[in-house]
Every structure is written in structure tokens, then in C-alpha cells.
Amino acid sequence: MTPFLKTMLLIAALASAAGGFTALSLAMSRHWEGVHGRGSAPASRLLPRLRLLGIGGLLLSLCVCLFNWGSAQGWVAWAGVLTAAALGHALTLTYAARAVMRIGYGAAGLTFISLLAAILA
Amino acid sequence: MKEGLRLSMAWLHTWSGLLVGWVLFMVFACGTASYYRDEITLWMTPEMHQASLAPVDQDVAATAAQRALEQRGAGGSRWFVTMPTERDPAVRVGWVPKPNKGQGQGQAKAKGRRQFGSAAVDPATGEELGKARETRGGDFFFRLHFDLHYMPVFWGRWIVGVCAMFMLVAILSGIVTHKRIFKDFFTFRPGKGQRSWLDAHNASAVLALPYHLMITYTGLVTLMFMYLPAGLNAVYPEKADAFYADLNGGPARDAKPSGTPVALTPLAPLVAQAREKWNGAPVGRMVISLPGDANAQILMTRQESQGLSSQQPSITFDGVTGRLLSEANKDSGAMQTRGVMYGLHIGRFAGPMLRGLFFLSALAGCAMVATGVLLWAVKERPKHLKARLNSNSGGVGFGLRLVDGLNLGGIAGLMLAMAVFFWANRLVPVGLAGRPELEIQCFFTAWAIAAVAGLAWPVRWMWRVQLVIGGLLFALLPVLNPLTGGAGLATSVAQGKWAIAGFDLVSLAFGAMLLWAAKRLGKVKLAKAPKPQLDKLDKIDEVAA
């Protein structure tokens, strides 16, 4: 694999994990309130979708890691990617709560673009 | 009953973590640095910054290594070759020199100090790379994190092992006692005193939990034959060397020379033969025992780049005829298990990206230990203040004062000392006798001063002093580097030497972080503490670091 491909796949793994954590945290009332204001709550049918989306993001990240690093190192890399993405997301929720939605959509877009670049490369 | 378990686990977590916390912080910090051991060594030998080695084929490198060893290690009982990698493009050769006449080998062995010769060699020509200054480089942190220093290795490893066992207990009891792992998963609330410290401790622990468990457990596994030797002794009584020969393949360490001098066979064709066996995977290391003797043997081990295991297949050749003697694939369950554990701990398989992720998780580990011991003091302080208000007796209790002092010396002091080590590397004159040990003495002197000062004045301004000094020393390393012969940031970035540029950038970031912490400590006054206490306690307001 070329360095470019490996880099794109790392970005895709990180971005999809970050997007997944964004969705999962929005399904928690404390963080939904932190992002959308006190007293607001997600529509009840939105909750399972957010959780599903979140789990999907993390699983996509796992697939990308396994593809990028192979079936042995891939699991190790996934643990590292999850740690990095979760630490970043926790800091975002604390210090840039307003940007969480934008970052979430950005992460989804970045996942898409980097995967596309990886496929084309 | 459930709460009972949780409370007893909380007690266990607190004390198992606190008792060994400062040793653990050192082990974590130095272990973290060890991920970039080669890069640190490169930075610490500025004479090497300009060297640019083009990658060469493995058989060329093997020939170069052989040429260098025949010049420098002739007559030695063992030769070692580490083949070039992406991280380290030089060939590293080492040798056990011919024993001196005046000092028998047995005598030297009894002292536990066998002298090794080593050199970095140009893989294309076999010429030794320009003489670099003598330094332990990144190896110092690597050794310190499990051998300690100024004491026999045996005791150092036992102390670190006991601390690691405590760490494992602290992690497991911490998981049990943490009620809100998922509810507080992403939660960090800054500026709220004890709550913030607890949040930071939880986040750094939970979000990198797989790493913390892995590194602590596998750390114990790396030294398991020392901690739990009974099985080894039962099967290999009195002969640990034979066990390691079986484990690692190749000839036993005590193989006897025949006394008949015969030239060593060329290494290059053997390298090609070994690679063919491994589907083209490169050779990582070679050990040549009794070179130049009729009983010479050559052991080649595959480079660690695929999979996780540190137990790589190896091949042994006859050193005279080049005949293949044995192959060890090391695919038994027990060997693979140990190999994967060991491999995970040292992470030698990790490419630049995976290495970065390991480094980040390890930093979270440092943060976990540091916030843990600080949290104890933050939690304890109100109790002491209250007790003092009621009794009007002397200052805070001895225990809290001790922990405050150790926190200061163990955390801020260690970071300061690490920066001093890098400064010493550049400022201690080149060519001084015993130079590597002098650098190390600078490290420990700085740490000792910081620790004594921390214990004497375990107060806020001392934190700020040590953080500012440490921060400035780290932040100015990129300035010191080009001034003392290294490749400065502009050069290293322009030439794409990311190992050197990375060191400078990480130092800069680290220094900035320490300075920011010092600045923040200045801002946060005791405004948030309950007012009535403040009136009577204005003298000890500095204590609340």
C-alpha cells in the first residue's frame, strides 16, 4: 500500500470514529442539552437512530482499520483510533459545544471523501 | 452488598494507586518516550543530523556489516547485526570483544559488566558513520523505565514489577468502583476543583482503557521468567542460558570454540536464502557466534513488521559452509502467546501512524497517573483544613504534606529533569571521559533538587516555578538544537527529516503545555473555596495547589 492510501485510510478511520462518537453522545441527554441548549430533548424516534448511526460509525472505523493494518494489527490500531477520537470528542463537547454538529457532519463528509480517495488511489 | 463491594474497591483503588503512583508516573513517562527511542537517540547525536543514507538492498547491507565487523570485532566471541529499517537507515553492529589477558572473562562476568563494542555503519560502504558524541540517548529512558538506576538491575526490575502489579490492581479496582463509566464517558467539566480532577482522571483512564490494561499486563509478561521462574527452573535447572537458546533459536551462549581458525562464510547469500524462506520478508537481526572459528554459527531473525508477535521465525546457518542447520518457526501456542504479549508491549511492529496512536494513548496513561495522585491531595485537603479550623493546631497533616511534596517532585520535577537531560546532552563538552554518565548525573541532580525543593515547599508557587523552568527548557530545545550543531527546524522540515523535526515540534508543544499549566495555576486563586475558611487560613492559601 502506498503512503497516500495508508494516510487516507487513517483519516477515514479517525473521522468515522469521531462521527460515531458524535452520534452516540447526542443520544445522551446531557450532551444533547450541551449542544442544543438546556431543556431541549431529541425526538424519541431519533434516539435509536442516533445510537445505530454511532455504532455504525465505530464499526466502519473497525473495518477500515482491519483493511489498513491487517487482521492482527488492525484491532490494536482500532483501539488507538477510538482513544484518539473519543479524547478529541470529549474536548470538543467541553470547549466547543456549539461546533459539535458541524464537526459531526464534517467527520461524516471527511469519512466519505477519504474513502473515495482511497478507492480511487 | 453491591455498594459494599464498590466501597472496598474504592479503598483498594485509592491506596494501590497512591502508594506506587510516583514510580508509576516515571515508568509511564519514560516508557512513553521509549516509543521514540531511536528518534531521541538521533536528536541527541547532532553529528548524525546531516548524514543521509540511501536505502540499500539487504545483501549489500549484510556485506557492509561483515566488512565492518571483520575490521573492528575480529577475535570477538559474538557479533550482532541489526539491519537497516525505515526508522533507522544505518546498520548497527555490535561485538563482544576478545577477553583481555589481564582480566579473565570469568572475572568480568562475575562483576556483571561485560563490555560490548558497537558502531553505526553506512549500509552501502561499511564505513563507520562519523564519530558521534557518546550518549545513552533514548536508551536511557528505555532502561530507566524497567531497570531504574543507581541500583542492581535485579532490584530495579523487582521494584518496577511490584509497582506494575499494584497498577494492574488499581486499574481493575478502578473499573469496579467507577459507577458511571458510560454515563460520564465524554464528560469533562473544567474549573470545578475536585470534580474537574476526577473528570480528567476518569476520561484519561476510561478512554484509553484498552491501552492501559494491555501495557500494564504485557509489561509484567515481558519479565515473567524473572518474576515467576519456577517453571523455567524445573525444566532447565541451573541452565537459563540453554532455555533462552531454545526460546530464541541458535547456538547456546556457552558454545565452545574449536580453536581452529576458519574464515566466516559471506553473509549476503545467506540473507538471500533466508528471505526466500520467508516469502521475501527482510532479515531483522543476525547473531554470529564464534566468528572466524570452525564452530561458527549464524542466526538470522525475521524483521518485525507484520503481525504483532516479537517472536519471529529464525534460521541458523553453519558459519563456515553456509549450510542450513535449523529453522525455528516459533508457531507453538505458548510461544506465539508470549510473542504477541511481548510484541504488543514494545510495539516494534508499529509503523509511523500506529506508533503515533500508541504514543497518544501512553500520554493519556501519564495523565491518568498524574491526575490520580493529584486527586488524592485535592480530596484530602478540605478534611485537613476543617480539622485545623477546629483544633487551631499546626499546618496540614504530615501525610498530605508528603503527598503534595512527592506530587511536585514526581510530576513537575521529573518533566523538568527530562528537559535537563536533553540540555546536558548538548552542553556537556564532547569527548569528556564518562560523558554518558555525566548526562545521566545531570538528570538525577536536577530531579533530586526539584524533589527536595518540592518536599520543602509543597505549595502553589513551587509548582509554578518548576513548571515554568521545565516549560522554558522544553520550549527552547528547538532553539538549542541548531545552536549546538544539530539540524534546526527550518533545515529538518525542508529536508523532510521528520524524526528530528518531530522531536523539536513535540518539545515545543510540551513546553507550551507546561507554561500554560503554570499560567493557569497563577490565575486560579482560592476564590472558589468557601469564604469563611479563607479569612482564618490566608496563610496557607498557597498550599492549595
On whether both B456 and B317 belong to a single domain, the answer is no
Residue that has been written with the C-alpha cell 479503598 in this structure: B11
What are the tens digits of pLDDT across the range B269-301?
A: 999 999 998 888 899 999 998 898 888 999 999
Ranked by mean pLDDT, the top range of B283-287, B345-349, B383-387, B505-509 is B505-509
What is the number of other CB atoms lying within 10 angstroms of the CB of residue B60?
18
Arithmetic mean of pLDDT, B348-352: 90
Q: Is B374 on the interface with A (CB under 8 A)?
A: no
**Does residue B7 lie within any of the structural domains?**
yes
A55-88: buried (b, 16+ CB within 10 Å) or exposed (e) per residue?
A: eebbebbbebbbebbeebbbbbbbbbbbbbbbbb
Q: What CA–CA distance (Å, rounded) separates B212 from B228?
A: 22
Kindly list the residues from chain B whose CB atom is less than 8 angstroms away from the CB atom of residue A32. Answer: none
Q: What pLDDT, on a 0 to 100 scale, did the predictor assign at position B541? A: 41
On whether both B300 and B407 belong to a single domain, the answer is no
On whether both B273 and B214 belong to a single domain, the answer is no
Binned at pLDDT 50, 70 and 90, residue B539 comes out as: very low
Q: What pLDDT, on a 0 to 100 scale, did the predictor assign at position B254? A: 62
Q: What CA–CA distance (Å, rounded) separates B395 from B419?
A: 33
What is the number of other CB atoms lying within 10 angstroms of the CB of residue B509?
12
ipTM: 0.95
Structural domain count, chain B: 2
On whether both B390 and B503 belong to a single domain, the answer is yes
Arithmetic mean of pLDDT, A39-44: 88
Kindly list the residues from chain B whose CB atom is less than 8 angstroms away from the CB atom of residue A82. Answer: 207, 210
On whether both B432 and B520 belong to a single domain, the answer is yes
Task: Reduce the DSSP state of residue B285 to 3 states and report it.
Answer: strand
- DSSP classification of residue A28: S
On whether both B433 and B470 belong to a single domain, the answer is yes
The reply to whether residue B353 touches residue A86, judged by beta carbons under 8 angstroms, is no
Q: What is the residue extent of each domain of chain A?
A: 3-120
The H or E element spanning position B286 is: strand B283-289
The reply to whether residue A80 touches residue B308, judged by beta carbons under 8 angstroms, is no
- DSSP classification of residue B266: P
- The larger pLDDT score, comparing residue B80 to residue B53, is at B80
**Does residue B82 lie within any of the structural domains?**
yes
Its domain, for residue B132, covers 52-144+249-346
B354: nearest CA partner in chain A:
A77
- Of B314, B346, B378, which marks where a domain is finished? B346
Q: Is A5 on the interface with B (CB under 8 A)?
A: no
On whether both B186 and B253 belong to a single domain, the answer is no
Q: What CA–CA distance (Å, rounded) separates B35 from B29?
A: 11
Q: What pLDDT, on a 0 to 100 scale, did the predictor assign at position B395? A: 62
On whether both B324 and B416 belong to a single domain, the answer is no
Amino acid in position B256: K
**Does residue B466 lie within any of the structural domains?**
yes
* Spatial contact of B349 and B305, defined as CB atoms under 8 Å apart: yes
Q: What pLDDT, on a 0 to 100 scale, did the predictor assign at position B2? A: 58
Cell matching residue B292 = 572466524
Kindly list the residues from chain A whose CB atom is less than 8 angstroms away from the CB atom of residue B358. Answer: 80
- By C-alpha distance, which of A3, A14, A15 is closest to A79? A14
On whether both B295 and B414 belong to a single domain, the answer is no
On whether both B26 and B109 belong to a single domain, the answer is no
- By C-alpha distance, which of A56, A64, A103, A102 is closest to A80? A64
On whether both B523 and B433 belong to a single domain, the answer is yes
**Does residue B460 lie within any of the structural domains?**
yes
Residue B537 has pLDDT above 50, yes or no: no
**Does residue B244 lie within any of the structural domains?**
no
Average pLDDT of chain B is: 87
On whether both B290 and B387 belong to a single domain, the answer is no
